[in-house]
Amino acid sequence: MEKNRKRIALLGSTGSIGTQAIEVIEQFPELLQIEVLTAFSNADLLIKQAKKCKPNIVVIGKEDLYKYVKEALWDDDVKVFAGMQAINEVVQMECVDMVLSAIVGVAGLAPIFKAIEADKQIALANKETLVVAGELMTRTAYEHGVNIYPVDSEHSAIFQSLAGEFHNPISRLIITASGGPFLHKNRGFLQTVTKEQALKHPNWKMGNKITIDSSTLMNKGLEVIEAKWLFAVPLEKIEVLVHPQSIVHSLVEFADGSIKAQLGLPDMKLPIQYALTYPQRMTSDLPRLNFAEHPTLTFEAPDLETFPCLALAYEASRKGGCLPCVMNAANEAAVSLFLQDRIGFNDIPKIIEDALSQADFCIPSTIEEYLQIDKETKIKTLEKNSK
């Protein structure tokens, strides 16, 4: 029985998706097994997870924490490595069947490529990788016969709605958005909002970066681009619809006008589980949706003037080449500045727009080129906006 278990390398195990993924995997010991855990700097949680989950290998990204982790796991039967290069190497190991990437930001790009090149199946939460290098990543996955299973709830909903429809053309993808904590606010109000206000998401508890992205609607922009690559659907056929209750997780319209959707309470464990156990639906004890308790499901168009990030993402993706990478890098830099109280909320889209207008258009053909553009954009953005 053990031989048939899917052996998983969980990248970013200490984050919001990472910790929930461990809970999911623990539910199905007959099917899933944690082979590798990696984290960047939360050594204490990584050590705790290693003692509990008993993986074969752990990697701590920050190299100066190696000794600390190694000593703490001295008595445990687990190999300890450190550094980003080690993450790139462990994903290629024979003992790994599937890589679940729950790293945040472009930092996950190199490991994902290494995993695809070693023919590992991918469960992807780390949407920024598809935003930055979607064309190269999906082409490489195709060449290696690698499937990329979405973990993002909207994309999982689309994937689930597409079951049995693979040969039927899609006429429209409708990605739902909660609208975030500042739904129905105007730009004047947003002028003075603090990071504490932006970090209070109404429906989801997530890592800081994606929570800020949700409040600016950049998260939806990233998701539109993610959907374009995952499902090979052109941008013109991808719409965003604000749905504050986060019950309908996204919808697909087919040629005959029929629309399919996936519904459920907002809980990332369900899309994580589906990505890991696909094509099986395993019995879970997740809370069930009771329609009588949610009698009102509402839908409205997004406010692109108050939240320019969504339109910027469409524009960057339409122009293509290096621009989605520039946009993502400027966004990562702007979000980190906002989280350090060094810029205001409305500066985030301004910084991204500025970076896009200053960018020299090019079409990168390797991961290294994308990473170089990411690095240069971040340096420029941080220099320009450091008061």
Q: CA 349, CA 320: separation in Å to the nearest integer?
A: 18
**Region near ligand NAD per CB under 6 A, out of 181-189, 205-213, 326-334, 347-355:** 205-213
Minimum Å gap between C-beta 258 and ligand NAD is 27
Crossing angle of helices 367-384/109-117, nearest 10°?
170
Examine residue 378 and tell whether it contacts ligand NAD (CB under 6 A).
Answer: no
Tokens in use for 31? 């099917």
**Region near ligand NAD per CB under 6 A, out of 66-74, 207-215, 335-343, 358-366:** 207-215
Nearer to ligand NAD, 39 or 146 (CB): 39
Q: Are strands 57-60 and 32-39 parallel, antiparallel or unpaired?
A: parallel
Q: Is 283 exposed, middle or buried (0-12, 13-18, 19+ CB in 10 A)?
A: exposed
Minimum Å gap between C-beta 154 and Mg ion is 5
x/- mask, Mg ion, residues 125-164, rule CB under 5 A, reads: ---------------------------xxx----------
Minimum Å gap between C-beta 387 and Mg ion is 32
Examine residue 332 and tell whether it contacts Mg ion (CB under 5 A).
Answer: no
Examine residue 141 and tell whether it contacts ligand NAD (CB under 6 A).
Answer: no
Between residue 283 and residue 342, which ones bind ligand NAD under the rule CB under 6 A? none
Cis amide bond preceding 349, omega within 30: no
CB-based contacts of 59, cutoff 8 Å, min separation 6: 36, 37, 38, 39, 80, 81, 82, 83, 86, 87, 90
Examine residue 268 and tell whether it contacts ligand NAD (CB under 6 A).
Answer: yes
Total of chain residues touching ligand NAD, rule CB under 6 A? 26
Examine residue 176 and tell whether it contacts ligand NAD (CB under 6 A).
Answer: no
Examine residue 221 and tell whether it contacts ligand NAD (CB under 6 A).
Answer: no
- CB atoms < 10 A from the CB of 238, how many? 22
DSSP 8-state secondary structure symbol assigned to residue 305: T
325 sits in which H/E element:
helix 323-339
35 sits in which H/E element:
strand 32-39
17 sits in which H/E element:
helix 16-27
Nearer to Mg ion, 128 or 152 (CB): 152
55, interface contact from ligand NAD, Mg ion, none, CB < 5-8 Å by kind: none
Tokens in use for 372? 């170089």
42-52 burial by CB neighbour count: b if 16+ within 10 A, else e? bbebbbebbee
Minimum Å gap between C-beta 328 and Mg ion is 16
Q: Which of 21, 35, 42, 138 binds ligand NAD (CB under 6 A)?
A: 42
Nearer to ligand NAD, 111 or 308 (CB): 111
x/- mask, ligand NAD, residues 99-118, rule CB under 6 A, reads: ---xxx--x-----------
Nearer to ligand NAD, 268 or 359 (CB): 268
Minimum Å gap between C-beta 127 and Mg ion is 8
3-state secondary structure of 215: helix
Is the Cβ–Cβ distance between 212 and 163 less than 8 Å?
no
Examine residue 39 and tell whether it contacts ligand NAD (CB under 6 A).
Answer: yes
Chain residues that interact with ligand NAD, rule: CB under 6 A:
12-18, 39-40, 42, 61, 102-104, 107, 125-128, 152, 204, 206-207, 209-210, 268
Chain residues in the site for Mg ion (CB under 5 A): 152-154
